[in-house]
């Protein structure tokens, strides 16, 4: 099977023009099939402030009312997505910006929560792998904003990590998928204060040992649990590390690689 990289960049990179430009330049040099999934960054919060739409966060998640959904659609699918697409084009990377509504590529339903109403937040049901593989086989590079739809005319705000993971899972039938999450740190660290304590490879048995020995920062556990879930679902491997190290992450010279065996 052909390799496919699904790479997620977080909000912190999007907020810094230079860091973003460097990341996109590195991304454009990766040969072969690839998909980019981006977060939103602080731009949505800034715009909400400017037009006086109060924002509510519950456990780090944005409650998405009608006005907030409009803001998110403008910032994520408009400004951030098209800025990335045009920058990639300048590096001869033939990007196509998408939301889950485009090509009906990512269908979701509005989250039902017993206590909290998160508003227009979507949990993913299906990813159309045939639409995406058509694009990939034409040499195109899908660039996803973290927005899906319900097929009934409703756009939905969706977590970018989850979106990357679900896309990787769906495409694992057709490709050998490598899922790359970039974040602030150099990888999974044994000492959270020491950026040089990156664990290069974590297998499942190793993970159990690390967890029981309290060698992993608690904040990393949900990320790692998700990574192993992705692997159970057919993803070949998951890489976690700094956006600035993208090429090195892909080459296995930086970050943490999570694999089955």
CB of 231 to a second copy, least distance (A): 31
Return the beta strands (E) in 176-232 as ranges.
176-183, 201-202
Which lies closer to a second copy via its Cβ, residue 38 or residue 149?
149
- Tell the smallest beta-carbon distance from residue 203 to a second copy (Å): 40
For a second copy, which stretch binds (CB under 8 A), given 28-36, 100-108, 165-173, 229-237? 100-108
75 in contact with a second copy (CB under 8 A)? yes
Nearer to a second copy, 61 or 70 (CB): 70
Q: How many CA atoms lie within 13 A of 72 on its CB side?
A: 26
Is residue 154 near a second copy by the rule CB under 8 A? Answer: yes
Question: Min. distance of Cβ 17 from a second copy in angstroms?
Answer: 12
Q: What is the DSSP string of 8-20?
A: EE-HHHHT-HHHH
Residue 86, token pair as written in the block: 């045009």
CB 165 within 8 A of CB 223: no
Tokens of 78: 């408009």
Q: Which of 34, 62, 149, 185 is the binder for a second copy (CB under 8 A)?
A: 149
Taking CB under 8 A as the rule, does residue 147 contact a second copy? yes
DSSP-derived secondary structure letter, 40:
-
17 binds a second copy (CB under 8 A): no
Q: What DSSP character marks residue 243?
A: G
Member of 17, 60, 112, 153 binding a second copy (CB under 8 A)? 153
Q: For the chain, what percentages of helix, strand and coil (3-state, to nearest 5) are there? A: 40, 25, 35
Q: Which stretch binds a second copy (CB under 8 A): 32-40, 70-78, 174-182, 197-205?
A: 70-78
Rounded to an integer, what distance in angstroms lies between the CA atom of residue 68 and that of residue 55?
8
Q: Which of 155, 163, 168, 240 contacts a second copy by CB under 8 A? A: 155
90 binds a second copy (CB under 8 A): yes
- Considering the rule CB under 8 A, would residue 244 count as an interface residue with a second copy? no
- Check: CB of residue 178 under 8 Å from CB of residue 237: yes
Q: CA-CA distances (angstroms) from residue 86 to 28, 29, 112, 165, 168?
A: 12, 15, 36, 25, 24
49 versus 194: smaller Cβ distance to a second copy:
49
CA 148/CA 110 separation, integer angstroms: 10
The binding site for a second copy (CB under 8 A) comprises 47, 50-51, 70, 73-79, 81-83, 85-87, 89-90, 94-99, 101-104, 131, 134, 138, 140, 147, 149, 151-155
């Amino acid at each position: 099977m052909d390799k496919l990289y699904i790479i997620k960049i977080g909000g912190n990179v999007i907020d810094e023009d230079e860091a973003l430009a460097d990341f996109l330049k590195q991304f454009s040099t990766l040969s072969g099939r690839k998909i980019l999934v981006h977060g939103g960054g602080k731009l949505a919060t800034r715009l909400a402030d400017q037009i006086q739409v109060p924002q509510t966060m519950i456990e780090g998640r944005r409650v998405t009312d009608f006005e907030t959904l409009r803001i998110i659609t403008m910032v994520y699918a408009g400004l951030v997505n098209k800025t990335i697409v045009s920058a990639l084009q300048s590096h001869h990377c033939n990007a196509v910006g998408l939301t889950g509504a485009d090509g009906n590529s990512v269908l979701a339903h509005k989250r039902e929560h017993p206590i909290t109403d998160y508003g227009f937040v979507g949990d993913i049901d299906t990813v159309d792998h045939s639409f995406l593989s058509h694009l990939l086989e034409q040499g195109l590079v899908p660039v996803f904003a973290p927005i899906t739809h319900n097929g009934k005319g409703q756009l939905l705000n969706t977590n970018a990590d989850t979106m990357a993971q679900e896309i990787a899972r769906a495409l694992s039938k057709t490709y050998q998928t490598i899922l790359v999450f970039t974040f602030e740190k150099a990888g999974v660290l044994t000492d959270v204060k020491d950026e040089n304590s990156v664990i290069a490879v974590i297998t499942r048995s190793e993970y159990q040992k690390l967890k029981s020995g309290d060698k992993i920062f608690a904040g990393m556990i949900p990320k790692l649990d998700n990574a192993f879930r992705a692997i159970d679902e057919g993803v070949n491997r998951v890489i976690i590390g700094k956006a600035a190290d993208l090429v090195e992450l892909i080459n296995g010279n930086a970050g943490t690689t999570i694999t089955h065996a």
